[in-house]
Protein backbone atom coordinates (compact mmCIF):
# COMPACT_ATOMS: atom_id res chain seq x y z
CA UNK A 1 0.00 0.00 0.00
CA UNK A 2 1.48 3.31 -1.12
CA UNK A 3 1.47 6.58 0.77
CA UNK A 4 -1.32 8.03 -1.37
CA UNK A 5 -3.53 5.01 -0.77
CA UNK A 6 -2.74 5.12 2.94
CA UNK A 7 -3.55 8.83 3.10
CA UNK A 8 -6.88 8.29 1.31
CA UNK A 9 -7.67 5.39 3.65
CA UNK A 10 -6.74 7.47 6.71
CA UNK A 11 -9.00 10.30 5.55
CA UNK A 12 -11.84 7.84 4.92
CA UNK A 13 -11.45 6.27 8.36
CA UNK A 14 -11.28 9.66 10.06
CA UNK A 15 -14.64 10.83 8.65
CA UNK A 16 -16.73 9.27 11.44
CA UNK A 17 -14.52 10.91 14.05
CA UNK A 18 -14.58 14.15 12.06
CA UNK A 19 -18.39 14.11 11.98
CA UNK A 20 -18.62 13.40 15.72
CA UNK A 21 -16.06 16.14 16.38
CA UNK A 22 -18.20 18.59 14.44
CA UNK A 23 -21.11 17.63 16.70
CA UNK A 24 -18.92 18.11 19.77
CA UNK A 25 -17.90 21.54 18.55
CA UNK A 26 -21.53 22.45 17.93
CA UNK A 27 -22.64 21.27 21.37
CA UNK A 28 -19.75 22.99 23.15
CA UNK A 29 -20.38 26.33 21.49
CA UNK A 30 -17.37 28.33 22.59
CA UNK A 31 -14.36 26.04 22.43
CA UNK A 32 -10.78 26.18 23.63
CA UNK A 33 -7.67 24.54 22.17
CA UNK A 34 -7.89 21.90 24.90
CA UNK A 35 -11.27 20.73 23.50
CA UNK A 36 -9.69 20.27 20.08
CA UNK A 37 -6.75 18.37 21.59
CA UNK A 38 -8.97 16.14 23.74
CA UNK A 39 -11.09 15.12 20.74
CA UNK A 40 -7.99 14.65 18.58
CA UNK A 41 -6.24 12.51 21.17
CA UNK A 42 -9.23 10.26 21.82
CA UNK A 43 -10.25 9.76 18.22
CA UNK A 44 -6.72 9.68 16.79
CA UNK A 45 -5.55 7.30 19.50
CA UNK A 46 -8.34 4.84 18.93
CA UNK A 47 -8.09 5.10 15.15
CA UNK A 48 -4.46 4.01 15.59
CA UNK A 49 -5.07 1.32 18.24
CA UNK A 50 -7.99 -0.43 16.57
CA UNK A 51 -6.26 -1.28 13.27
CA UNK A 52 -3.28 -2.48 15.31
CA UNK A 53 -5.56 -4.85 17.24
CA UNK A 54 -7.25 -5.92 13.99
CA UNK A 55 -3.85 -6.52 12.40
CA UNK A 56 -2.82 -8.92 15.15
CA UNK A 57 -6.18 -10.71 14.99
CA UNK A 58 -5.95 -10.94 11.21
CA UNK A 59 -2.35 -12.17 11.35
CA UNK A 60 -3.52 -15.35 13.05
CA UNK A 61 -5.79 -16.12 10.12
CA UNK A 62 -3.94 -14.51 7.21
CA UNK A 63 -1.90 -17.58 6.25
CA UNK A 64 -5.03 -19.73 6.12
CA UNK A 65 -6.93 -17.43 3.76
CA UNK A 66 -4.27 -15.45 1.88
CA UNK A 67 -5.68 -16.60 -1.46
CA UNK A 68 -9.00 -14.91 -0.64
CA UNK A 69 -7.58 -11.81 1.07
CA UNK A 70 -8.60 -9.38 -1.67
CA UNK A 71 -12.20 -10.66 -1.57
CA UNK A 72 -12.28 -10.32 2.22
CA UNK A 73 -10.75 -6.82 2.13
CA UNK A 74 -13.24 -5.78 -0.56
CA UNK A 75 -16.20 -7.17 1.39
CA UNK A 76 -15.13 -5.52 4.66
CA UNK A 77 -14.49 -2.12 3.09
CA UNK A 78 -17.69 -2.30 1.01
CA UNK A 79 -19.68 -3.13 4.14
CA UNK A 80 -18.04 -0.39 6.23
CA UNK A 81 -18.32 2.23 3.49
CA UNK A 82 -21.95 1.32 2.84
CA UNK A 83 -22.68 1.54 6.56
CA UNK A 84 -21.17 5.04 6.74
CA UNK A 85 -23.17 6.24 3.73
CA UNK A 86 -26.35 4.74 5.20
CA UNK A 87 -25.73 6.42 8.56
CA UNK A 88 -25.34 9.75 6.79
CA UNK A 89 -28.99 9.52 5.74
CA UNK A 90 -30.20 8.29 9.16
CA UNK A 91 -31.85 10.27 11.92
CA UNK A 92 -30.03 13.13 13.55
CA UNK A 93 -28.12 12.21 16.67
CA UNK A 94 -28.47 13.90 20.04
CA UNK A 95 -25.80 16.49 20.74
CA UNK A 96 -23.76 15.90 23.89
CA UNK A 97 -21.22 18.46 25.07
CA UNK A 98 -19.66 16.12 27.64
CA UNK A 99 -15.94 15.45 27.20
CA UNK A 100 -15.64 13.17 30.22
CA UNK A 101 -13.59 9.98 30.16
CA UNK A 102 -16.67 7.75 29.80
CA UNK A 103 -18.30 9.85 27.11
CA UNK A 104 -15.17 10.16 24.99
CA UNK A 105 -14.26 6.48 25.44
CA UNK A 106 -17.63 5.37 24.08
CA UNK A 107 -17.41 7.76 21.13
CA UNK A 108 -13.83 6.80 20.35
CA UNK A 109 -14.66 3.08 20.34
CA UNK A 110 -17.82 3.61 18.30
CA UNK A 111 -16.05 5.68 15.64
CA UNK A 112 -13.10 3.29 15.35
CA UNK A 113 -14.83 -0.08 14.94
CA UNK A 114 -14.35 0.19 11.18
CA UNK A 115 -10.62 0.70 11.78
CA UNK A 116 -10.51 -2.70 13.53
CA UNK A 117 -11.76 -4.34 10.34
CA UNK A 118 -9.25 -2.34 8.28
CA UNK A 119 -6.50 -3.69 10.56
CA UNK A 120 -7.60 -7.23 9.69
CA UNK A 121 -7.33 -6.22 6.03
CA UNK A 122 -3.84 -4.85 6.67
CA UNK A 123 -2.76 -8.27 7.96
CA UNK A 124 -3.99 -9.93 4.76
CA UNK A 125 -2.21 -7.35 2.61
CA UNK A 126 1.01 -7.52 4.67
CA UNK A 127 1.04 -3.76 5.33
CA UNK A 128 3.85 -2.28 7.48
CA UNK A 129 1.57 -1.80 10.48
CA UNK A 130 3.43 0.66 12.75
CA UNK A 131 3.87 3.40 10.12
CA UNK A 132 0.33 2.77 8.83
CA UNK A 133 -1.42 3.06 12.21
CA UNK A 134 0.74 6.02 13.20
CA UNK A 135 -0.23 7.83 10.02
CA UNK A 136 -3.93 6.98 10.50
CA UNK A 137 -3.79 8.23 14.10
CA UNK A 138 -2.12 11.51 13.13
CA UNK A 139 -4.54 12.18 10.28
CA UNK A 140 -7.51 11.41 12.53
CA UNK A 141 -6.10 13.62 15.29
CA UNK A 142 -5.88 16.54 12.86
CA UNK A 143 -9.32 15.94 11.34
CA UNK A 144 -10.91 15.58 14.79
CA UNK A 145 -9.31 18.72 16.19
CA UNK A 146 -10.32 20.69 13.11
CA UNK A 147 -13.80 19.12 13.29
CA UNK A 148 -14.36 20.53 16.78
CA UNK A 149 -13.39 23.98 15.50
CA UNK A 150 -15.61 23.67 12.42
CA UNK A 151 -18.50 22.45 14.56
CA UNK A 152 -18.22 25.45 16.81
CA UNK A 153 -18.31 27.68 13.73
CA UNK A 154 -20.72 25.98 11.31
CA UNK A 155 -22.67 23.31 13.15
CA UNK A 156 -24.38 20.26 11.67
CA UNK A 157 -24.37 21.50 8.07
CA UNK A 158 -21.48 19.25 6.90
CA UNK A 159 -21.90 16.17 9.14
CA UNK A 160 -23.69 13.95 6.62
CA UNK A 161 -21.43 15.10 3.76
CA UNK A 162 -18.36 14.02 5.77
CA UNK A 163 -19.88 10.59 6.46
CA UNK A 164 -20.82 10.12 2.80
CA UNK A 165 -17.33 11.13 1.70
CA UNK A 166 -15.70 8.70 4.15
CA UNK A 167 -17.99 5.85 3.10
CA UNK A 168 -17.36 6.40 -0.61
CA UNK A 169 -13.59 6.51 -0.01
CA UNK A 170 -13.68 3.16 1.81
CA UNK A 171 -15.77 1.58 -0.96
CA UNK A 172 -13.39 2.85 -3.66
CA UNK A 173 -10.36 1.51 -1.78
CA UNK A 174 -12.12 -1.86 -1.47
CA UNK A 175 -12.79 -1.92 -5.22
CA UNK A 176 -9.15 -1.08 -5.94
CA UNK A 177 -7.92 -3.89 -3.65
CA UNK A 178 -10.29 -6.34 -5.36
CA UNK A 179 -9.18 -5.29 -8.84
CA UNK A 180 -5.50 -5.53 -7.78
CA UNK A 181 -6.10 -8.99 -6.32
CA UNK A 182 -7.79 -10.17 -9.51
CA UNK A 183 -4.89 -8.84 -11.58
CA UNK A 184 -7.03 -6.25 -13.40
CA UNK A 185 -5.00 -3.25 -12.17
Instruction: Please state the rounded mean pLDDT for residues 152-177.
Output: 70
Q: What is the pLDDT of residue 138?
A: 97
129 versus 27: which is more confidently predicted?
129
Instruction: Give the chain's domains with CATH numbers.
Output: 3-181 (1.20.1250)
Identify the band that residue 155 occupies on the pLDDT scale cut at 50, 70 and 90: low
Name the nearest CA neighbour of 9 among 143, 120, 132, 162: 132
Q: What is the pLDDT of residue 1?
A: 74
CA–CA dist 158, 181 (Å, integer) = 35
Q: Which distant-in-sequence residues (6+ apart) come within 8 Å of 76 by Cβ?
A: 117, 118, 120, 121, 174
Q: What is the pLDDT of residue 160?
A: 67
Q: How many angstroms separate the Cα of 104 from the Cα of each of 26, 88, 163?
A: 16, 21, 19
The 8-class DSSP code of residue 90 comes to S
Identify the band that residue 143 occupies on the pLDDT scale cut at 50, 70 and 90: very high
Q: To 5 degrees, how large is the angle CA 170–CA 101–CA 122?
A: 25
142 versus 125: which is more confidently predicted?
142
Q: Which distant-in-sequence residues (6+ apart) come within 8 Å of 122 by Cβ?
A: 1, 51, 54, 55, 58, 129, 132
Q: How many angstroms separate the Cα of 27 from the Cα of each of 22, 35, 145, 160?
A: 9, 12, 15, 17
CA–CA dist 73, 70 (Å, integer) = 5
Is the torsion defined by CA of 83, 85, 86, 88 positive or negative? positive
94 versus 136: which is more confidently predicted?
136
Express each pLDDT in 102-135 by its tens digit. 888 888 887 887 788 889 889 888 899 999 999 9
Express each pLDDT in 54-112 by its tens digit. 999 888 876 666 667 678 767 876 886 787 678 778 765 555 567 889 888 888 887 88
pTM of the model: 0.71
Amino acid sequence: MGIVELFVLAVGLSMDAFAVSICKGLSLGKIEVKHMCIAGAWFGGFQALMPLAGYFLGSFFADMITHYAHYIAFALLLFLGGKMVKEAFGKEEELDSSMTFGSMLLLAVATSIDALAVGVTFAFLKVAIIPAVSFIGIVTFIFSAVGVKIGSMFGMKYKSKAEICGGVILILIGIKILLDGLGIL
